Structure 1
């Protein structure tokens, strides 16, 4: 339970679709008073989000107050030291998941051919900025990551930054399945699922896995049809809402059986039990942690990147199109890889798909 301050202090980084969903749901779902500071590169957007969320909290009669401010993510020590957060929800990266639909180019075509995993360095760098700053000024703060957590959190853990868990992805998938099945007992629902499974994999053998009362189902593709036919931006409304419920449990010290991406820095998504500030796997009968991790690593490769043993290894398709990433590299070079990808993206954005 968070007890260091009388009113818990939450920081949300970013002002995009998922950050908005998290904040709007915090405004209506938090059962304890709290302050929420929204930090974004665009101060105006942060202020706008804070205003709407504050009004939603007032209408919902929740004692949650929101503030917005613009920040430089390369220089966070001052603002995070001032705010002294108990919990940070990180929702900002260098790469938007919507670019393929809003601004198609040779860059988005490259991502289509290689898999979303190629964006790992672009997703990871700003999280590392936040984690490094928290280590210096708020070392007891819980850090939750929304940016490709299935692969980014393992990078952070390998670098010595213990991100608590992710949000989105399997959280959204499990919520959609529970709603489709009208399944109310979350303790008896178990999924293994990766970011990859937001879309249907090419081979049905690579589908997400679902157990109800320890019986594995064979109709997962049908169960996820409604979710997969929904626009990704709309799905953020589910992921953000699930995140707010998770945060409320963390702040109040409740016990929650749920699903999250990358708990404990593991690759992919798992069923978990969260109690106070601890998190543990709660796998279905017959599946141990080693088997669950191995399965998620296989899905990670299909998504374009595997993080294992402090090494980043892109799928062979990445090496075919971007030869400099054909060989694995240590997580300590993630900033260098990010700079190389930003330069490549700048060039390819000028070329039609």
Structure 2
């Protein structure tokens, strides 16, 4: 029986579990781990109901852990004995500007999504450390800004296999617009920033069906980009569920962010040794694809090197007013310090209404 741990109880974690419940075609145990026992129990219960209605061999159970307590989380992971851990918990909701506007959300609007990287990376790093310490031979997938967070995890020497969402979501949008079947070989190069239409056409997503480039990608992505972001979590969750089932079958040819800690998103396939390797179209090699994604990340305001994160553009400019020490970036080894400083700034700014 395959085993998966889903860390988190928010919208994305729920959508992943709810899709697994109806898609599972082989025995599967899913353990939902969250800080709030009521929420993890609720997700597991609703997913179990969906599985029962669908007649699938998926089972769901709940567990509770403080993600900051890596020793306790390692024990939970050891008990669950997963093949895969899918991390979906973050200290920063992407919907806060819609639900609780404040001077903090004004800052994020000015700085851009890149500024939130430390807050997405902190829990991911704690989960990765717990997985490492548990001794469980599971692999980690990260759903929280993986285009930038996965390289940070790699820089910290923590285990990371790949991410979900972003390029996978854009690939889903292209499949829908182009009328592609699941068997059609779609390759996509894209970064988180491409969830929005780029200012310059030359900076648009690159995609190929087979070896043939897709024309007018901008038009093909219009419906996805025009959809409400919270609604798109249903698509991201469904894509992640399909990925987990493909991994269980050992058959993967898809598009994922942050494979092996690389920046941005790439076409990938499952190598004979069970790792995810790049599946690039003719004329592209690893160095060129990484450089392309790095340029996209810099346009978003972030570059993650082997040992340091650099903020630029509007991200650096906006952070300089509230976090001058880290406005230009930080060494990855200082992640916990940077996240703590950012949380303090957030607490102060949240007290002021927008």
Is TM more than 0.5 here?
Answer: yes
Moved more, 333-342 or 75-84: 75-84
In 1, distance between residues paired with 2:5 and 2:136? 14
Establish whether residue 35 from structure 1 lines up as the match of residue 36 from structure 2. Answer: no
Partner of 2:198: 201
| Separation of aligned partners in 2, 1:42 and 1:77 | 17
Aligned to 1:107: 104
**CA distance in 2: counterparts of 1:167 and 1:11, whole angstroms:** 15
Shift of 1:342: 0.4
Residues 185 and 54 (structure 1), Cα distance of their counterparts in 2 relative to 1, 3 Å cut:
closer
Aligned residues: 346
TM-score normalized with structure 2 length: 0.94
**Alpha-carbon offset, residue 89 of structure 1:** 0.6
- State yes or no: 1:84 paired with 2:85: no
Deviates more, 1:260-269 or 1:302-311: 302-311
Please point out which of 216, 225, 228 is paired with 1:231.
Answer: 228
Contact in 2 for aligned 1:186/1:258 (Cα 8 Å): no
The within-5 A match list for 1:13-92 is 13-75=7-69, 76-92=73-89
Partner of 1:93: 90
The separation in 2 between residues aligned to 1:168 and 1:302, in whole angstroms, is 19
Are 2:213 and 1:216 aligned? yes
Q: Output one character per residue of 1:36-57: Cα deviation in whole Å (capped at 9) or x when no partner.
A: 1111111111111111100111
Q: CA deviation at 1:275?
A: 4.7
Mapped partners of 1:130, 1:325: distance in 2 = 24
Whole-Å separation in 1 of the counterparts to 2:325 and 2:215:
40
Q: Quick check: 1:201–1:207 contact (8 Å CA) kept in 2? A: yes
Residues 102, 349 of structure 2: 8 Å contact kept: yes
In the alignment, is the contact (CA less than 8 A) between 2:6 and 2:33 conserved in 1?
yes
Q: Deviations over 1:298-339 (max 9, x none)?
A: 111122211012210012323322222233321111111100
C-alpha distance after superposition, 1:97-143 (max 9, x if no partner): 11111111221121122110111110011111111111111341111
| RMSD after superposition | 1.5
Rounded Cα–Cα distance in structure 1 between residues aligned with 2:103 and 2:116: 14
SS of equivalent to 1:147: coil
- Structure 2 distance, partners of 1:134, 1:185, is 32
Partner of 1:3: none
Deviation digits for residues 206-252 of structure 1 (CA, Å, limit 9, x no counterpart) = 22112233333341111111001111111111111111111112122
Deviation at 1:185, TM superposition (A): 6.2
Q: Does 1:310 align with 2:304?
A: no
State the distance in 2 between where 1:201 and 1:324 align: 30
Going from structure 1 to structure 2, the CA distance change for 1:217 and 1:187 (only over 3 Å counts) comes to closer
CA offsets 1:276-309 (integer angstroms, 9 cap, x no match)? 7321111111122111111111111122211012
Structure 2: give runs of 5+ residues left out of the alignment: none
Contact 1:186/1:257 (CA < 8 Å) preserved in 2? no
Which ranges in structure 1 are unaligned for 5 or more consecutive residues? Answer: 1-6
Partner Cα separation in structure 1 for residue 183 and residue 256 of structure 2:
13
**Alpha-carbon offset, residue 184 of structure 1:** 2.3
Contact (CA 8 Å) 1:123, 1:147: kept in 2 or not?
yes
Q: CA deviation at 1:84?
A: 2.1
Give the SS at the match of 1:211.
Answer: strand
Answer whether contact 2:87 2:140 (CA < 8 A) is retained: yes
Structure 2 counterpart SS, 1:197: helix
Per-residue deviation, residues 57-97 of structure 1 (Å, max 9, x unmatched): 11111111111233211221222222222211100010001
1:342 corresponds to 2:343: yes
